[in-house]
Amino acid sequence: MSQLRSLFGKGHSGGSGDEHHWLSVSDLMAGLMMVFLFISIALMRHALLERDRIKEVAVAYQENQVAIYDALMEEFEEDLEIWQASVDDDTLAFTFQSPEVLFATGSEALRPRFQQILDDFFPRYLDILLDFSDSINEVRVEGHTSSRWAADSTVQEAYFNNMELSQGRTRSVLGYLYDLPEMSSQQEWIKANIAAVGFSSSRVVLDREGNEDPDQSRRVSFRVITNAETQIRQILDGN
């Protein structure tokens, strides 16, 4: 009680005992309200600082996306039509869209023309990535197929057969790139940062009528994933 009195002061003197009691409680409540006010202000300040930090990451993420996209376009713009490729400014997916160039039907082996394209593409691509390595979380070689398989296959059988095929194709691409002679000095970086992922027919391309376009659905993409999400999660976790 003596500590409370020292913190909030004594009750007003005079008056009846009940009046003195209630005035002391009133002083106590006023003091507690001040404490809660200070806590609320502190929490609000922390929330605002956290919001500002997340906003900074979001702005940096957007600027970084634009910078990577611009670098890719500056380097490869003249090659895209020749390679039948495209670069998505939103997902940073560098996509090779010509199935007859990539693989034979049902095969995981790279066609010779696709090997020639990768010989030219990947060393230049990796040079760009290394300039942004501090902000890159992962690079994915993504394989996509149409939903088609053998005529007597069920939808489920076709999906899982295409899953195996798309995974095998991306492993073939990554293995080919890893073994390129000029990549010998970057093999550790490749192992640590590039993954091969097969999506089967889960992300088919649709035509204007909303129907699957089988040829456009068969594709291979190189997609850059930045570490903005990781940075935001660290902020929310208090790191």
> Hey, where are the domains in the chain?
2-49, 54-235
Residue 179, pLDDT > 80, answer yes
What's the pLDDT band for 39 if we cut at 50, 70, 90? confident
Residue 39 near residue 21 (C-beta atoms within 8 A):
no
Q: For all residues of the chain together, what is the average pLDDT? A: 85
φ, ψ of residue 136 to 5 degrees: the values are -100, 125
Residue 146 near residue 218 (C-beta atoms within 8 A):
yes
Model confidence pTM above 0.95 = no
Q: Spell out the residues 6+ positions from residue 115 whose beta carbon is closer than 8 angstroms to its own.
A: 176
What's the pLDDT band for 50 if we cut at 50, 70, 90? low
Which of 199, 205, 177, 207 lies closest to 190 in space, CA to CA? 177
What's the pLDDT band for 101 if we cut at 50, 70, 90? very high
Residue 134 near residue 68 (C-beta atoms within 8 A):
no
Largest CA distance in the chain: 102
Owner of token pair 């095969």: 107
The architecture (CATH level 2) of 54-235 comes to 2-Layer Sandwich (3.30)
Q: In this structure, what token pair is assigned to residue 182?
A: 């000029």
